[in-house]
Structure 1
Amino acid sequence: MNFTKLQGSGNDFIVIDNRDGKVYELLKRLELDIKDFVIALCKQHTGVGADGLILIEDPQDPKNHFKWQFFNSDGSVAEMCGNGSRCAVRFAYEKGIVGEEVRFETLAGVIKAWVKEGGKRVKVQLTSPKDYREVSLQVDGLHIEGSFINTGVPHFVAVVENLQDLNVVKLGRAIRFHKEFEPKGTNVNFIEKLSDKAIRIRTYERGVEGETLACGTGATASAIVAYMKGLVKEKPVEVHTKGGEILRIDFNEDLREVFLEGAVCRVFEGFFSEEDLLCMR
């Protein structure tokens, strides 16, 4: 089975064209469930290795270009992924599924996107954020003030000092599973100000269960929170990721329109056989 691995700001994804249903046919033939399939492919060292898997499928509404199925590396389903959506759009563009203006279906709603520079950059319009609130937490003996906002998936954002020295995995995991965010938990972002138009971010991602090099919806949530708190004063907000890329987040004052833009890179194209897949397990 052919696949492409792409990355946006260091967030890497395996993308498969499943419009003919071949993934489901393979799983039925091998008596595998989709979760085991995702975990096997995404696993480091024994699999392809990725933060998630994306299946491109036919849309339910013919006005849209495709539907995606998105899975975190642990096999769980996520409603939305900002950097994953940009990778999916470049893949679809290069396969001739879409042109430079795109509409595709996710569990979070229909996402619009624009292909730039022949696919090297992609801009997506995310669903309108919701559920914003200020949150005070007691975590491992620490008092942490932050903000919660859903930018397609839930995010907690905290402004910190000395971001570079922060134990993101330990603190992020404690917040991710905090009773405040039960039952599904939350993604966790730590940010610091760089200038009136830029912040730096580190993210603990739910589903990956670790720190990732970037998170598009997390960068979006963090840019919005930073602007609302007056940490930054100019838009679009530049978000400097751990992977070194800079994401540009723009939005109007009422947050009805929110845009995420950044570079997308094809890492490699590959093929795996049934034997390869069984060995990955």
Structure 2
Amino acid sequence: MKIHFAKYQGTGNDFVMIDNRNDFFPKNDTLLIKKLCDRRFGIGADGLILLENDAETDFRMVYYNSDGNESSMCGNGGRCLVAFAKKLHVIQQEADFIATDGLHHASVLEDGTISLQMKEVDFIKKEADYVFLNTGSPHHVTMVNDLKNYDVKNKGAEIRYSDLYGKPGSNVNFVSQIADNHFALRTYERGVEDETLSCGTGATATAIAMHALGKTQAHHIFLDVEGGKLEVSFVKEGDRYTHVFLKGPATFVFEGEITC
């Protein structure tokens, strides 16, 4: 079987994109998805995303981690899928699409960056040394000293596999503050089981967590990730964070065919 694909990246978080509107892709073939994401024997990516038809929206997003398993929402992947949909002429400048965590709206801005509406957050667990919340995917957020030299892979795995989160595990974000509304973060992603250069739901979780902790009063947060820069904005309504938007680049890398 030959599969036509496109490769996209959002601040270094990279994805294999497949147009599955004809429903040809073997969605339960975990080994195939894992192989396509393999950086030595396949295309190489942090995840694989299918663009599918949806009766009520512009398209459906189906996301798989690089381990081959279908996973929860991916913010960088969502932005990249919007860019892919625009390239396929499925959309023009605006999109409404459905993902595993519900409905999303996105806009392609004049400079090519994409603004993606994320899910509302109405529950935040605040502990002495970490915050936990779900921004479409579960995220553990903790502040650390010397982020540049922090052992993200080992410390992240330790938390991800701890009894704190059980079998499903959690993504883990390590954060340092640069200025009032400016933070840096590094993320260990479950399913990739390693640090990635960026995590969109992690950036969103970090921005909201820092506001919830009182580290910033700003509602527009700038975030430095290993692969570039992201922005998160939101509105605080009582105990809920609404109108949450993740803004950043979504860049076409290459396309081709692979025989499987």
Q: TM-score range by the shorter chain?
A: over 0.9
Partner of 1:3: 5
Q: Which letter maps to 1:38?
A: I
Which residue number in structure 1 is paired with residue 19 of structure 2?
A: 17
> Are residue 265 (structure 1) and residue 251 (structure 2) matched?
yes
CA deviation vs aligned residue, 1:49-105 (integer Å, no higher than 9, x gap): 00000011111xx33001111000001211200000000000001101112111111
1:134 corresponding residue in structure 2: 126
Is the Cα contact below 8 Å between 1:113 and 1:122 reproduced in 2? yes
Residue correspondence of structure 1 range 1-281 to structure 2 within 5 A: 1-24=3-26, 33-59=28-54, 62-117=55-110, 120-135=112-127, 145-243=129-227, 245-254=228-237, 255-273=241-259, 277=260
Q: Provide the TM-score with structure 1 as the length reference.
A: 0.88
Q: 1:154 to 1:130 in 2, by over 3 A?
A: farther
Give CA-to-partner distance per residue, 1:240-275, whole Å, 9 cap, x none: 0011x11010000121220000011111011112xx
The CA distance in 2 between the partners of 1:203 and 1:227, in whole Å, is 19
Task: Report the AA paired with residue 135 of structure 1.
Answer: E
**Percentage of pairs with the same residue:** 38
The letter for the 1-side match of 2:68 is G
SS of 1:161's equivalent? coil
1:36–1:75 CA contact under 8 A, matched in 2: yes
> Per-residue displacement from partner, 1:110-160 (whole Å, max 9, x unpaired)?
111111237x21110011124310235xxxxxxxx1000000010000011
Amino acid at match of 2:106: A
1:100·1:115 contact (CA, 8 Å) conserved in 2?
yes
Letter in 2 for 1:249: V
Return 5+ residue gaps in structure 2 as ranges: none
Q: Distance in 2 between matches of 1:95 and 1:172?
A: 37
Aligned to 2:218, the other structure's residue is in SS state: coil
SS state at 1:257 partner: strand
Which AA in structure 1 matches 2:254? Answer: F
Q: Secondary structure at the match of 1:117?
A: coil
Residues of 1 paired with 2:99 and 2:122: CA distance?
A: 17
Task: Report if aligned partners of 1:237, 1:248 keep a CA contact under 8 Å in 2.
Answer: yes
Matched residue type, 2:67: D
1:23: how far off?
1.4
Check the 8 A contact 1:252/1:258 in 2, yes or no. Answer: yes
Higher helix share: 1
Amino acid at match of 1:267: V
Check 1:229–1:42 CA distance in 2 against 1; reply closer, same or farther (3 A cut): same
How many residue pairs get aligned? The number is: 255
Q: Work out whether residues 130 and 151 of structure 1, in 8 Å CA contact, stay in contact via their aligned partners in 2.
A: no
User: Quick check: 1:129–1:152 contact (8 Å CA) kept in 2?
Assistant: no
Secondary structure of the 1:175 match is: helix
- Stretches (4+) displaced over 4 A: none
Measured on the aligned residues, the alpha-carbon RMSD in Å equals: 1.3
